[in-house]
Amino acid sequence: MPSAELNVVTGAYSFTGKYIARRLLALGRRVSTLTGHPHREHPFGDRVRAFPFNFEDPPALAASLAGATTLYNTYWIRFEHGATTFERTLARTEALLQAARQAGVGRIVHISIINADQDSPYPYFRAKGRAEQLVREAGLPCTILRPTVLFGSEGILFNNIAWLLRKLPVFAIPGAGDYRLQPVHVDDVARLAVQARPQQSGPTIDVAGPEILTFRSLVELIAEAIGSHPRLLRMRPQRAFQLSGLLGGLVSDTLLTCDEIAGLMDNLLVSSAPPLGRTLFSSWLQQHADSLGRTYFSELERHFRRT
């Protein structure tokens, strides 16, 4: 018999939330989602009930959380776009947490980012740190998971690196390319989210994959796997950012932000904690090389344009 326990997952029709919802359903749990895209195609049929975020209607937002034992919060933005700023996203996060308290939600599992820090010089990491503090101050048992950099079939970053490697004769490497990253599979994050046992003290857990790669070696690994042979060209970070802006204009998207380049070069995408992810990026890459980068994945299309 399915459990009567109700779990609310933000963004179950997107990336991380989809994997969390899938694992919860496999355990026989009831699942609903809060989403900005209630009519988007998804794999769950009628097993996941969708509610709009309703940030500007607190009673409706609380009603959509009524009866929930756990809120799995993946809500965030990768970069600011138009009126959607980090400040507005923080205000919406606070509204979501207030609604959770009002609705009597039992606990929160919050998906953050490695090295989130309210004092970070980088706006993305700084805002993520402020969001973590809002979760801790919400007064509910919570767990905060801090993944490094996610990969998976729907993931944007590595897919679009592969797309560029397939399309262009050269690939720009900001600086020396010797800075590191530690990719973690999205389903490893989902597994740990579902297994989390939130506490009033709000434990914060790094979630990193089992491999650490330099950025240059990662690009070389992807290029070799997909059979592409572009020239890897070292470039000043500012020039690389300008080039990404030009390419972004061609695909009507934002490929990279200054924060992402700076955070990567500052080695903020690795963890000093033992890796909790199990999936090797190199093994996953070999399994998905034929499809990786065949189609460009648009961040703006996925998260900012209504569907």
Question: What is the rounded distance in angstroms from the CA atom of residue 277 to the CA atom of residue 208?
Answer: 6
Res. 1 pLDDT band, cuts 50 70 90 = very low
Bridge partners (DSSP) of residue 116 are none
Question: What is the rounded distance in angstroms from the CA atom of residue 53 to the CA atom of residue 35?
Answer: 6
Q: What's the pLDDT tens digit per position in 184-200?
A: 999 999 999 999 999 88
| Whole-Å CA distances, 304 to 10, 16, 92, 131 | 15, 17, 15, 20
Please give the mean pLDDT across all residues of the chain: 95
Position 202 scores a pLDDT of: 81
Q: What's the pLDDT tens digit per position in 101-136?
A: 999 999 999 999 999 999 999 999 999 999 999 999
Average pLDDT over residues 45-49: 93
Q: Which stretch of 26-40, 127-141, 214-228 has the lowest confidence by average pLDDT?
A: 26-40
**In this structure, are strands 180-181 and 142-147 parallel, antiparallel, or unpaired?**
unpaired
In this structure, are residues 145 and 207 in contact, taking their beta carbons and an 8 Å threshold? yes
pTM comes to 0.95
